[in-house]
Structure 1
Amino acid sequence: ARLFMQFLGDTIGIPGTVRLSAQLQGNELLGLGENASGQIFSWAGSRVTPFMINDRLAEAAKPQLNLAPRFPSMEFGVSAHPVQPEHLLVRNATIWTQGPQGRLENADLLVRRGKIVRVGQNIAAPTGAVIVDATGLHVTPGLIDPHLHTAILGGVNETGDAITSETRIIDVFNPDEIWTYRLLAGGMTAGTLYHGSANPIGGTNLFVKLLWGALPSEMIVEDARPGLKFALGENVKRTPGRYPNTRMGVEQIIKDALIAALEYEQKHKNFNPRSGLIPPRRDLQLESILEVLRGKRGSHVHAYRADEMLTMMRLAEEFGFRVTSFEHAVEGYKIAQELKEHGAIPVVWTDWNSFKVEAYDGIRYNAALLDYAGVLTTLHSDHTQLSTRMNWEAGRMVGKGITEEEALNLVTLNPAKLMGVAHRLGSLETGKDADFVIWSGNPLSAFTHARQTWIDGRRYFDREADLLMRKEVQQERAKIIQQILLLPANERRQTAPPRGGRPQELE
């Protein structure tokens, strides 16, 4: 039999409510307990008197739950936005600029108001500058994941229709997702959030900086190139009861949508506002597709097989646009020359393969062979947990023959070029945003971790502060549990507390 109980610990010299669980064997108990501070301990007991029922319960005073405000109102929330120093100088580091300067030893990085001013040796510190001693450490641009499904509320696939280009990730973006903070802990500073791959044409994507604790509007990178998700292959054709169910149907429904978008454009051009007739109905679905055809929006195509990528490139060329990227591109190595000539960017994994039929021909040298062929290539995660260690993924490419600098480009400069933000992100050069990571060692080593992650010259992650916050989170959790345990059973509700406001909302 199992025993669960809780009681006020003052009778045994422990403050607060104590929770115990144990296995009952005869007259002996052996189990675990948790005190009011959240500490776990083991305990044992023996029956000394026969069991007797006692209906009297001591009336305990209910303590006030007084927690510090956090933004967002959850674990690892912050009390205020990180301060942006007027001047910031990172000294004596190995700096991977990913730009013309290459890798610099014993170098400095000077930042003013969130922008990089200079990278080089022996830079004099401006008066009042915040100085970070990075002796023995490495500094790189912030990592960028060009394919994520993180921080999205309510699912990433709208499967009710085959063409859903009117849907927008911006409408379901969740800035309070805890994985935003965890990605910062892995050196990630920005990423692209995508609609899923259940539709031949899905929704529009969103490129954000991971500004933990900020408002959604502050996290969005407005000058990133907008994009629309397309998809080919198994994921698209296996939705029951919905056309298409074959690969030929997938190609045809995309072509039909492209034709419909052009006809929609022509209807609006032909309409005479003086005619007195009702103007053509606005179609949000076709407008997104038309933006792709007119070069105002990128096309990001989920695809594994070489034949399907060739089909999509031919279709795009027929309609006069370029496929911006092939997401996953597991068989990209088979058609490297065609990808290069078309200008499509393969967004690939390091070694994911054989997890479904269309991934059987995936190889670990995919990215390396594409790089050798001169195809601009990026790595991606497509998986939130994997995205916390994209520096390791880049490091694995060194074993496939790619240089260290080119390997790091796969998760910094190259995805910045893909998303149209290389003028701001992806390398440490004068005038660019001060988005950088201070690493404990070589960033491509599996033994390395991020010490600090900075975005716009503000420190959004600090490992030392994180270790302290872990203890605070444990203590706050224990306080909340104690408060709940003091309530009568019929008053306990398993609902989330109201979400706290952010600094701007409280002003």
Structure 2
Amino acid sequence: MRQLLTRGACAAALVMALSACASTGDSASTSEAPKRERAPMAAGLDAAANPDPYPSTYRGLPRENLAIVGGVVLTGAGQKIDNGVVIVTDGRVAAVGDASTPVPGGHRVVDARGRFVTPGIIDVHSHLGVYPSPGVMGMSDGNEATNPNTAQVWAEHSLWPQDPGFNTARAGGVTTMHILPGSANLFGGRGVTVRNVPSVTMQGMKFPNAPYTVKMACGENPSRVYGGRNQSPATGMGNMAGYRAAFIAAQDYREKWDKWRRTGEGTPPTRNLQNETIAGVLDGSILVQNHCYRADEMALMLDLGREFDFKITAFHHAIEAYKLAPRLAREGVCAAMWTGWWGFKMEALDGIEENAALVDVPQNSCAVIHSDDAELIQRLNQEAAAALSAGRRAGMNISEEHAIRWITLNAARALGIADETGSLETGKRADVVIWSADPFSIYARADQVFIDGALSFDRFNPAYQPVSDFELGQPGYGLSAANVREGAR
């Protein structure tokens, strides 16, 4: 456990805050892990009998009931409340209102006067844990670059929970992350949504009941990786042919299983993990997170979805999303974007800083700011602020209480968890950040971060600032900011 703790073993303050025990199933706080009943041996051949074989054991850190009072509250759902009150009871938001909101007895009062209060930040595109620091070949676990279709691999099986990047992301207000495989392949594998809490295991971080996702990649990456090996795909048309062939195979696989489940005749089909994931896309249980830069290629992917009757949940990076913003909104597709990253390869040349603001204009739009970077994840509020400023300079009247959803509620929507987190609304998880200043200011820092109502980071209390051995350094070893990954962006 030494890597997870600061300044000695489980001192009392650390037990309350960030001990590994709190997120690996030993805590006395709320248990959320679903109870499992072992399926009969015959049914075990059917993935539907056990759709989550590596279930969450997340318990949450030790928490208390709170009343956060006096701050400027940006709810994430469109409201700004001066001198607001956020009531947290049993790890959930119990009430949000103005200064007249009553504080229940027994709730600890947190004074947020002069500060800002927002939902926890959600990063929909992270590689923490699969491309951790130290950035060495032995830890470069994000791209299974062995075949254009590796839908059978799951990022959670590579996730190293001791990555120091989780600590620094938490200090930046990030409470939930979506960890994805890299983008070397047409189908890179499944992604996993995690709670940003210290844990010995991936299961101890795994967001309970969050939908699985699959990473797809269009454009230069797969054709560059495999074309350079004299394999297919080597071109954009090879990419499209590869997607179509994979969905045809998955359709056939799904039909065979459906027939066996319906009739029970004969032996069940042989399980195929690759087809199993893509069949989950076809039935809507697995959400497509699609790495795609160019507007024309996004349009092709939307047409592919129509051909095989599946939905793309979000385009990631989406440098040219502004060119088809009305269609994205009409079809309910989110676009996860940077503000200032562009021009680093041909398909990224036509980026503009107003991208997120323009995507946000149509009704039912879903603009999201993401990181794809172990350092940018620490300041997603600043990346959103830059997008907000660019939109305002272009004449768009965007309020801060609206723009905060780019890193909160819209991000939750893109991951299928908006009913649980992403906004400060009654009944949702109490994922809360108290900022030293307006979060859209370059001077703002996260003072306190609460996850499910538990204090998980405190800028003023070293006991709530975990430092791992990998951050402190060890003799003969050094940290490297460079990730040694092929097809990373």
Matched pairs, number = 410
Q: Does 1:319 align with 2:308?
A: yes
Matched letter for residue 284 of structure 2: G
Within 2, Cα distance between the matches of 1:126 and 1:322? Answer: 44
Within 2, Cα distance between the matches of 1:75 and 1:293? Answer: 50
Structural mapping, 1:138-149, within 5 Å? 138-149=116-127
What TM-score do you get using the length of structure 1 for normalisation? 0.76
Q: Does 1:207 align with 2:225?
A: no
In structure 2, what is the equivalent of residue 310 of structure 1?
299
Question: Which stretch of the first structure deviates more once superposed, 266-275 or 204-213?
Answer: 266-275
Q: Does 1:115 align with 2:92?
A: yes
| CA deviation vs aligned residue, 1:66-118 (integer Å, no higher than 9, x gap) | xxx74625789974252644421112111111226x11111221111111111
| CA deviation vs aligned residue, 1:127-154 (integer Å, no higher than 9, x gap) | 3322211111111000011111111154
Structural mapping, 1:386-405, within 5 Å? 386-399=376-389, 400-401=391-392, 402-405=398-401
In structure 1, what is the equivalent of residue 184 of structure 2?
198
What SS does the aligned partner of 1:434 have?
Answer: coil
In structure 2, what is the equivalent of residue 415 of structure 1?
411
Aligned residue among 417, 430, 437 for 2:433: 437
What TM-score do you get using the length of structure 2 for normalisation? 0.78
Q: Percent identity?
A: 35
| CA deviation vs aligned residue, 1:130-182 (integer Å, no higher than 9, x gap) | 22111111110000111111111542111111100000011112221111110
Question: Which stretch of the first structure deviates more once superposed, 343-352 or 247-256?
Answer: 343-352
Q: Does 1:159 align with 2:145?
A: yes
| CA deviation vs aligned residue, 1:36-87 (integer Å, no higher than 9, x gap) | xxxxxxxxxxxxxxxxxxxxxxxxxxxxxxxxx7462578997425264442
Within 2, Cα distance between the matches of 1:230 and 1:129? Answer: 46
Matched letter for residue 353 of structure 1: W
Higher relative contact order (CA 8 A, sep 6+): 2
Matched letter for residue 433 of structure 1: R
Within 2, Cα distance between the matches of 1:156 and 1:329? Answer: 21
The answer to whether the 8 Å contact 2:458/2:464 transfers is no
Aligned residue among 59, 69, 78 for 1:91: 69
What SS does the aligned partner of 2:197 have?
Answer: coil
- Root-mean-square deviation (CA), in Å? 2.6
Within 1, Cα distance between the matches of 2:253 and 2:411? Answer: 33
Within 1, Cα distance between the matches of 2:114 and 2:265? Answer: 72
Greater share of strand = 1
Question: Which stretch of the first structure deviates more once superposed, 446-455 or 342-351?
Answer: 342-351
Aligned residue among 372, 381, 398 for 1:382: 372
Residues 450 and 86 (structure 1), Cα distance of their counterparts in 2 relative to 1, 3 Å cut: closer
Larger radius of gyration: 1
Within 2, Cα distance between the matches of 1:468 and 1:327? Answer: 33
Q: Does 1:80 align with 2:15?
A: yes
The answer to whether the 8 Å contact 1:71/1:80 transfers is no
Within 2, Cα distance between the matches of 1:273 and 1:111? Answer: 50
Structural mapping, 1:60-459, within 5 Å? 70=2, 72=4, 79-82=14-17, 84-99=62-77, 102-120=79-97, 121-152=99-130, 153-213=139-199, 215-239=201-225, 240-241=228-229, 242-271=231-260, 274-275=265-266, 279-374=268-363, 375-399=365-389, 400-401=391-392, 402-459=398-455
Runs (5+) with no aligned partner, structure 2: 18-60, 131-138, 393-397, 479-489
Within 1, Cα distance between the matches of 2:425 and 2:284? Answer: 29
| CA deviation vs aligned residue, 1:196-225 (integer Å, no higher than 9, x gap) | 111011100000110124643232112222
Within 2, Cα distance between the matches of 1:312 and 1:427? Answer: 30
Matched letter for residue 405 of structure 2: N
What SS does the aligned partner of 2:336 have?
Answer: strand
Within 1, Cα distance between the matches of 2:464 and 2:6? Answer: 16
Matched letter for residue 4 of structure 2: P
Residues 302 and 473 (structure 1), Cα distance of their counterparts in 2 relative to 1, 3 Å cut: closer
Matched letter for residue 206 of structure 1: V
Residues 114 and 70 (structure 1), Cα distance of their counterparts in 2 relative to 1, 3 Å cut: farther
The answer to whether the 8 Å contact 1:145/1:192 transfers is yes
Residue 407 of structure 1 and its aligned partner are, at CA, apart by 1.6
Structural mapping, 1:11-30, within 5 Å? none
Within 2, Cα distance between the matches of 1:359 and 1:91? Answer: 44
Matched letter for residue 413 of structure 1: L
Residue 340 of structure 1 and its aligned partner are, at CA, apart by 2.3
Residues 274 and 343 (structure 1), Cα distance of their counterparts in 2 relative to 1, 3 Å cut: closer
Matched letter for residue 367 of structure 1: A
The answer to whether the 8 Å contact 1:84/1:114 transfers is no
What SS does the aligned partner of 2:312 have?
Answer: coil
Within 2, Cα distance between the matches of 1:300 and 1:477? Answer: 35
What SS does the aligned partner of 1:409 have?
Answer: helix
Residues 160 and 177 (structure 1), Cα distance of their counterparts in 2 relative to 1, 3 Å cut: same
In structure 2, what is the equivalent of residue 5 of structure 1?
none
The answer to whether the 8 Å contact 2:127/2:373 transfers is yes
Within 2, Cα distance between the matches of 1:85 and 1:468? Answer: 13
Within 2, Cα distance between the matches of 1:119 and 1:104? Answer: 9
Matched letter for residue 194 of structure 2: V
Within 2, Cα distance between the matches of 1:447 and 1:176? Answer: 29
